[in-house]
Amino acid sequence: MLNTKLTKNLAKCIWCKNAVVLRFKPMAQWNLAGDGYLCGDCYQKKLAEYYLTPDRRNLTKQSNRNA
């Protein structure tokens, strides 16, 4: 089947394991397996998680207080 062949050649998302057409390289800070790619959905989720982590919020608060 042509579809199976295509899917085989596609990279797999290292998060959801689905074949990805549009590959997104994860940021090093996300601590994901080094040489893989994410699908668009997982990339967006990870991106949102990364920018909404409590740690970063605290950092921002602190720097605001100092300023």
CA–CA dist 38, 62 (Å, integer): 32
Q: How far is the CB of 14 from Zn ion (least distance, A)?
A: 8
| 6, 16, 19, 21: which one binds Zn ion (CB under 5 A) | 16
Where in 36-65 is the site for Zn ion (CB under 5 A)?
39, 42
CA-based nearest residue to 24, from 57, 59, 60, 50 = 50
> Judged by CB under 5 A, does residue 15 bind Zn ion?
yes
Size of the site for Zn ion (CB under 5 A): 5
The CA-CA-CA angle for residues 2, 23, 25, to 5°, reads 150
Give the footprint of Zn ion on this chain (CB under 5 A). 13, 15-16, 39, 42
